Structures are given as C-alpha cells and as structure tokens.
C-alpha cells in the first residue's frame, strides 16, 4: 500500500474515533516513510490521536520526535509547535502555550499552508485564549476556524469551530448562543460519525443546560458523553464527564451521589497529571464540603485549587476559587479574609470579563458588608450585582441576587420588602430545582420573619429549612436552623 493511502486511512480511522486502529496505521506509515517532512507530518497526526485518548506523555514525545526531523523554515515544524501548544494546555502551562502559539501563527503566515491546517492552528491558539479568560481573542480565532474550514469543505474543522465558538458564548453569558453553536457542531460530528467530537459536544450542551437551570435534561447529556468516552478510551474526557455528573448532582442537592463522581474524576486527573483538571476537581470538592458542613475541608480544597490555578495562569479558575473561598470565609465568620478574597475574585472576574463569577463575588460582598454593618458598602455591591443580573437574564442569577437583596433590605429595617424578595427567591429556586440555594433562602426567610416580629411565620419557615437541610445532608445549615429554633 502506498504511503499517502496509508496516512489517509489513518486520518479516516481517527475521524471516526477508531483510535487503536488509527495508531497502528500511523506507526506503519512511519516505518514506510523516508522523507523527513512526511515523517514529521505523520508524527503530528499520531500525536493528535494520542491526545484524544489521553496519552499526553506519549503525544509530547511524538511531537518532539517530529520536531527533530524538520527545521523552523518548514510549515510542519510550526504545525508541530501548535500541536505542542495543546499538550501545554493540558499541563496547565498557559503562558508558555500562548507565547509558542502566537509565534507559530506569525511564522505560518509567511508560509504556504493548506486551509485545513490553518483551521487547526486557529483552534489551538483559540484554546489557549479561552483557558486564559481572553474570550474576545478566542472568539476571533474560532471565527477564523470556520472561515478556513469552510473554504476547505472541512466538516470536522467546522464542527470544532462551532463547538469552541459555543464555549466563548457560554463563558460570556449568552447561553442560547452557546447551545445554538453546540447543536450545529453536534450535527456535523454525527454526520461524520466522530465519537470523540460527539462526546465533547454532548458534554458542553450539558454544562450549558446546567447554567440555564434545566437540570432534568443535564444528566442524560453527561451520561451519554461518559459512555462514549469510556468506549473510545478517552481517559481525560472520562474525567471531565465524571466531574460534570458530580457537579450536576451537587446542583440538585444530591451531595452523597455527587461525592463518588468527584473523587473518581480527581483520581483520573491526578493519574494524568492534568493540572487544570486537578484544580477544577479541588474547586468542586471545596463547594461540596462547604454544604456538607466541613468548612475547614472546604477551604483547604478551594485554596489548593487556587494555588494550582495561580501557578499555571488559569485565570478563570483563579476567579472561581477566589470568589468561592470568600464565601467559605463568610460561613466561617471571618469577615476580614472574606472581604479580601471576594474583592480579589471580583477584580479577576472583571479583568477577564467573566460576569458569572463576578456575581458570586458581589453577592458574597453584600453579605460580608452586612455582617460588618457597612451598609453603604453593601448597597454599592448590590447595585452592581443587580445590573449584572439584569444583563445575564438567567433565572438562577435572579433568584440568587434576590436572596441577598432581601438580606440587605432586612438590614435596613425594611422587613416587608425583604420578606417579599426572599419569598420570590425561594419560589424561583424551587421552580428551578436548585435544592441547596432554596434551603438557604428558606433559612434566611425564616430568620427575617422572626426578626420582624412574626415568630409563627419565622418558626414555620425555619422548620421547613431544617427539614430540607436534613434531607439534603446539609449539616452546617441544620445546626444553624436548630440554633435559631431553640
């Protein structure tokens, strides 16, 4: 069989997620190839398969072997460098990945490169930007992916472009735009029979539906993604799906169901040395242990995640960890560290344009300022939270901001308005199936009713909050409810 035919077969096998056969085909092609340029190109294709199956160390060695064959005057050298960027992203070395990616794109601009390779190059650089929180530049790269893939009639490139473009919409709060692009991607992957692409896009749709509060359909998408990823041996993807399933159970208030998924995901990520994934797993466990009542473990996990994210330059992760660590400090009664961490989280979120985490920080700051009896400070942060909530148009954000609005109004002594805001928040959380924040809103409502002089109404709501806390296993909230009721 001729070498070109063999490499085309390898490409088709990879495209349809037959990774074991694709690997064997590329290794056979390497044994046949004599031309260094062709061998380097095969090394690039082989490394792509190895990354899709989670064999990161093998992929990086394959790239290095290819780079030894060709010099910087060739296009394949810089295409291999861009492939190396993908490996650096997995390792969390984002600053180095950005520097190499930008240099590679500059050099490729002066060389003759097929549109299909131009497309994959823009995808690689876009992935760096999105991990760094620079969503505007990421979106610019993904639009170029669609342009170059369209010229080449490269359906896989277009599917990648729509999938990644959807992520930029999701991170900037346009969830309808995100789902629309994900569905375009899914249609193309299904047409191609590409299981890797199908599983990735199903996972992304599930995450977007979670942010939209559509919990009923979320687990179906994540379980379908997990089954495919296990089938094709994509270990890194399995870790992502397990993390997503755990996070979904957490959002539904099913903490005991969430914990095994989160721990299995962390185990896989530690095995792969997936630094970004490890940080994400620590964050998830921090959130979970906060609501299970172990605030010391919660803070330990969250700060471990923050340390990794700061080290690797994962600004999105940094913003998450700072905002949520601040919330944990509030639960620990440490107002000073809470405000300091929340201010950092707000600054990081503003810097990268991530309103989702800015809102977490702002709502936390409202509570921290109320605790310090600094109502002007609380009012300023609440005003910004109200503005960002109006921009997000998400019911979940509306309910969460409504809860802290109620706390602020109560602190000002406007109990009628406070009770109305907290009741509306509780109803919205109930409608969305957001069990944990609903229990929190019930507790706040019962407390405010009691403070207003309505002991009967307050007791009824606190008992309802206690029942929810017991059902969900929220030991810390259970303790707070009992203290209020005694």
pLDDT in tens, 115-167: 888 888 898 899 888 877 788 899 999 999 999 999 999 999 999 999 999 99
Total number of residues shown for the chain: 486
Q: What is the pLDDT of residue 277?
A: 92
462's CB contacts (< 8 A; 6+ apart) are: 442, 443, 446, 447, 450, 481, 484, 485
* Radius of gyration, CA atoms only, the chain: 25
Residue with tokens 């960890």: 321
**Banded pLDDT at 470 (limits 50, 70, 90):** very high
| Dihedral sign for Cα atoms in the order 66, 72, 74, 80 | positive
321's CB contacts (< 8 A; 6+ apart) are: 279, 283, 286, 302, 303, 305, 306, 309, 345
Q: What is the C-alpha to C-alpha distance for residues 339 and 287, in angstroms, rounded to an integer?
A: 18
Q: What is the pLDDT of residues 249-308, one digit of tens each?
A: 998 889 999 999 999 999 999 998 888 899 999 999 999 999 888 999 999 999 999 999
The first and second tokens of residue 140, run together, are 């610019």
- What are the CA-CA distances from residue 430 to residues 157, 356, 395, 424, 436 (Å)? 41, 21, 11, 10, 10
In the chain, domain spans: 394-486
Q: What is the pTM of this model?
A: 0.77
Q: Mean pLDDT over residues 16-26, rounded? A: 88
Residue with tokens 């749709």: 205
**Backbone φ and ψ of 194, nearest 5°:** -90, 100
Residue with tokens 């605030």: 295
DSSP code string of 334-355: -HHHHHHHHHHHHHHHHHHT-H
The first and second tokens of residue 10, run together, are 């390898």
261's CB contacts (< 8 A; 6+ apart) are: 242, 243, 245, 246, 249
Question: Please, are residues 450 and 459 in contact by the beta-carbon 8 Å criterion?
Answer: yes
Class of the 394-486 domain? mainly alpha
């Amino acid at each position: 069989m001729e070498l070109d035919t063999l490499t085309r077969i390898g490409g088709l096998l990879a495209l349809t997620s037959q990774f074991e056969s694709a690997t064997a085909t590329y290794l056979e092609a390497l044994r046949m190839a004599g031309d260094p340029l062709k061998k380097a190109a095969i090394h690039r294709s082989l490394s792509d398969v190895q990354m899709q199956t989670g064999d990161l160390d093998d992929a990086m060695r394959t790239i290095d072997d290819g780079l030894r064959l060709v010099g910087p005057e060739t296009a394949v050298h810089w295409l291999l460098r861009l492939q190396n960027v993908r490996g650096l992203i997995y390792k969390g070395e984002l600053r180095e990945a950005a520097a190499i990616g930008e240099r590679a794109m500059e050099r490729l601009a002066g060389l003759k490169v097929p549109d299909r390779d131009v497309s994959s190059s823009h995808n690689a650089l876009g992935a760096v930007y999105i991990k760094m929180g620079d969503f505007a530049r990421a979106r610019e790269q993904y639009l170029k992916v669609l342009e170059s893939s369209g010229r080449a009639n490269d359906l896989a490139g277009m599917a990648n472009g729509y999938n990644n473009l959807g992520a930029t919409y999701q991170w900037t709060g346009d969830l309808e735009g995100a789902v629309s692009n994900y569905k375009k991607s899914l249609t193309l992957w299904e047409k191609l029979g590409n299981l890797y692409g199908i599983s990735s896009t199903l996972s992304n749709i599930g995450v977007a539906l979670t942010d939209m509060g559509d919990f009923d359909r979320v687990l179906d998408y994540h379980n379908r993604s997990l089954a495919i990823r296990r089938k094709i041996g994509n270990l890194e993807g399995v870790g992502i799906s397990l993390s997503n399933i755990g996070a979904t159970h957490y959002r539904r208030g099913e903490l005991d169901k969430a914990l095994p998924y989160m721990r299995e995901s962390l185990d896989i990520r530690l095995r792969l040395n997936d630094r970004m994934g490890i940080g994400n797993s620590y964050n998830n466990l921090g959130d979970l242990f906060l609501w299970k009542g172990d605030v010391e473990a919660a803070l330990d996990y969250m700060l471990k995640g923050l340390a990794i994210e700061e080290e690797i330059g994962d600004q999105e992760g940094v913003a998450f960890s700072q905002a949520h660590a601040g919330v944990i400090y509030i639960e620990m009664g440490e107002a000073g560290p809470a405000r300091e961490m929340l201010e950092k989280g707000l600054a990081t979120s503003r810097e990268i344009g991530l309103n989702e985490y800015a809102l977490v920080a702002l709502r936390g700051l409202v509570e921290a300022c109320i605790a310090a009896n600094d109502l002007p400070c609380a009012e300023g942060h609440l005003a910004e939270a109200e503005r960002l909530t109006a921009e997000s148009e998400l019911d979940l954000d509306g309910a969460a901001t409504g809860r802290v609005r109620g706390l602020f109004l109560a602190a000002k002594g406007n109990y009628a308005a406070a009770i109305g805001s907290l009741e509306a928040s509780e109803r919205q959380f109930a409608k969305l199936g957001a069990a944990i924040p609903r229990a929190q809103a019930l507790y706040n409502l019962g407390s405010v009713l009691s403070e207003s002089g309505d002991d009967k109404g307050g007791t009824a709501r606190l008992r309802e909050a206690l029942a929810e806390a017991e059902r969900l296993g929220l030991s810390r909230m259970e303790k707070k409810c009992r203290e209020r009721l005694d």
